[in-house]
Structure 1
Amino acid sequence: MGRSLNEIIAELPLDEQQAIEARYQELKQEVEGLHELRQITGKAQADIASALNIKQPSVSKIEKQTDMYLSTLRSYVEAVGGKLELTVQLPKRPALRIRHLGEVAPAVEKRIPARRGSGARSPRRRPG
């Protein structure tokens, strides 16, 4: 009969066992996608749909997407009870966190002052 993985690891030098355990802990902190994230939090697609005010099939679609808006991802993460943080890894620099990317900013209404004089406007030139 074969040996188990735990038995094989137990026979390795202590430093290798510690490296394997450290990598295992790192991998436990990663998820493959939104579906797994939702399952970890114990939520059903219907729960997420309700929180996002969308229908359940739309949640399924979001979970299968490979590309999406950050605002969609942020909303989904918040619906499962989390907080989205964006980190940039640059060579030879510590990790940088982007604080406001993907947040929905309140709409700013621009008011254009009325022109004085005749109501006629000159045609605008397009940059060429």
Structure 2
Amino acid sequence: MARTLDQAFASLPEDKRRDLEQRGQDRLQQYRTLQELRKSRDVTQESLATVLGVNQENISRLERRNDLLLSTLRDYIGAMGGELEIVARFPDRPPVRLDEMFAEPER
């Protein structure tokens, strides 16, 4: 007899279940972050897709990903009228902006 997903999950060791639950929550939060950012700007997936020259399905997939190229994220933010900044923070020094390292190459 086949097991349900809940049964398989319940049979895992406690630490493994906690790890999987945390990873799921992290991914859900990442999904909500891009989607909520877009929505907070009153931008639809369709209009964003038009600006980026892709279809709406691509925007939906992008918003669900948990690993993006910086150039993709920069374009996504730029299409909403924003600018992506990368800042490294260390406990023993002031924040360092990495704008030049990730700037779009000149053509």
Check whether TM > 0.5.
yes
Name the counterpart of 1:94.
94
2:68 aligned partner = 68
Identical aligned residues as a percent: 34
Superposition deviation, residue 105 in structure 1:
1.2
Instruction: Name the CA distance, whole Å, in 1 between partners of 2:95 and 2:67.
Output: 23
Q: Does the 8 Å CA contact 1:38/1:44 hold for their aligned counterparts?
A: yes
Residue in structure 2 matched with residue 57 of structure 1 by the alignment: 57
Shift, 1:81, TM fit: 1.3
Cα distance in 2 for partners of 1:38, 1:101 equals: 25
Partners of 1:67 and 1:33 in 2: CA distance: 13
TM-score by length of 2: 0.66
Can you list the C-alpha shifts for 1:4-46, whole angstroms capped at 9, x where unaligned?
Answer: xxxxxxxxxxxxxxxxxxxxxxxxxxxx511010000000001
Deviations 1:41-60 (A, max 9, x none): 00000111011100000000
User: Cα RMSD between the aligned structures?
Assistant: 1.3
> Structure 1 residues 38, 104: CA separation in 2 closer, same or farther (over 3 Å shift)?
same
User: Which consecutive residues of structure 2, in runs of 5 or more, have no partner in the other structure?
Assistant: 1-31
SS in structure 1 at match of 2:62: helix
Contact map agreement 1:74 1:102 (CA 8 A) in 2: no
Deviation of 1:102 (Å)? 3.0
Cα-to-partner distance string for 1:46-94 (whole Å, 9 max, x where unaligned): 1110111000000001111111100000000011111100000012111
Structure 1 distance, partners of 2:76, 2:38, is 9
1:44 match: 44
The 3-state SS of whatever aligns with 2:93 is coil
**Unaligned ranges ≥5, structure 1:** 1-31, 108-128
- Give 1 or 2 for the bigger CA radius of gyration: 1
User: Which has a greater percent of helix?
Assistant: 2
When the two structures are aligned, how many residues end up with a matched partner? 76
